[in-house]
Structure 1
């Protein structure tokens, strides 16, 4: 199973990495439009949002727009030695983010306040492979799975993906945490779990 998961992850990431910057930006805009359609039906006041890295669905404009709409936004600070993430509130991604774990942009702990994970209404999370049943393959570290299970089980789990990352069935393991909602450039999938 591990070999199947890794082969699938590499295949899908290769396809995602093959998108041109222009295509990825256009698809990201469509994903964000679908996100705002969803937000129009919700009363969430505090979001935990990943900061995009490499070829992921872009989130910086989403973060800025949420902050401008008085939605509290926390982003992950990776504490690699403890294999965990800490949600830190930010007010301006251009000022508050610095290169962190694997050079992924993270909040500067000197400028950002810690958010209690129990205050998170919804977590917007990345991944490599998704399915419409709530399955998600991350990047292999288990950071989001542990965070959702142990720290923020109450948070609605929203995966952002490009349609090319969606497969029929993700090969799941017991520790994999399911999504509640999947948003791509083409659709919003509400998942019953």
Structure 2
């Protein structure tokens, strides 16, 4: 089995070569599938991520979630702890700025020390996912650390292009699988 680092490079390179019009089209389909999830009907607090490069685009989705009255949280990188912090976002224009690794992150003035322990749903990005919900991210370990400490009863939803659902990847003890994966073609429900 290939090492995670080799697989990460392979899938991120493949993703970087996808034309932007396909990224936008697939992202719209993924966002629509997500908004139809029955679990969203009872959710209040949703943690998303600010898309970058050729990730599934989330900015329109975040606007929609805010418009529909959800409490929206976004992560920021805490390099000192190899963990993510979160902050509630009310306005995508004024509450975000470029942070670590070039990712749009909550501005310092809205960051608190406390992470809500009652997040209902967490959207998790990844370079690829397996049908069992395991993923390869960017290699920092931030999401796995965050999910193991703070996901509690939250539904973990992976966002992934269909072509990056792969048969297997090396799984380590600290890896935390997601509960559902949304692609442009389907919603994969993981039996755990």
Specify if TM > 0.5.
Answer: yes
Greater helix fraction, Structure 1 or Structure 2 = 1
> Which whole-Å CA distance do the structure 2 matches of 1:87 and 1:187 have between them?
29
Distance 2:176 2:72 in 1: 22
Per the TM alignment, residue 35 of structure 1 is displaced from its structure 2 partner at its CA by 0.5
Residue 136 of structure 1: how far off its partner (Å): 1.0
* Alignment check: 8 A CA contact 1:49 1:75 kept: yes
Q: Is the Cα contact below 8 Å between 1:79 and 1:86 reproduced in 2? A: yes
| Match in the other structure for 1:94 | 93
| Matched residue, 1:43 | 42
Q: Look up the match of 1:54.
A: 53
Could you tell me which runs of 5 or more consecutive residues in structure 2 were left unpaired when the two chains were aligned: none
CA distance in 2, matches of 1:119, 1:45: 9
Residue of structure 2 equivalent to 1:162: 161
Poorly superposed stretches of 4+, deviation over 4 Å: 112-115
**CA–CA distance in 1 between the matches of 2:172 and 2:39?**
34
**What do residues 30-79 of structure 1 show as CA deviations (whole Å, max 9, x unaligned)?**
11111112157631110111111111000111111001101000000111
What is the alpha-carbon distance in structure 1 between the residues aligned to residue 135 and residue 81 of structure 2? 23
Q: CA deviation at 1:87?
A: 1.1
* TM-score of the two chains, using structure 1 as the length reference: 0.93
Asked whether the 8 Å contact 2:132–2:190 carries over to 1, the reply is yes
User: Are the aligned partners of 1:75 and 1:106 in contact in 2 as well (CA < 8 Å)?
Assistant: yes
Q: Is 2:87–2:110's contact at 8 Å kept on the other side of the alignment?
A: no
Q: Which residue of 1 aligns with 2:19?
A: 20
CA distance, structure 2, for counterparts of residue 39 and residue 32 of structure 1: 14
Q: What RMSD over aligned residues (CA atoms) do the two structures have, in Å?
A: 1.6
Give TM-score, length-normalised by structure 2.
Answer: 0.94
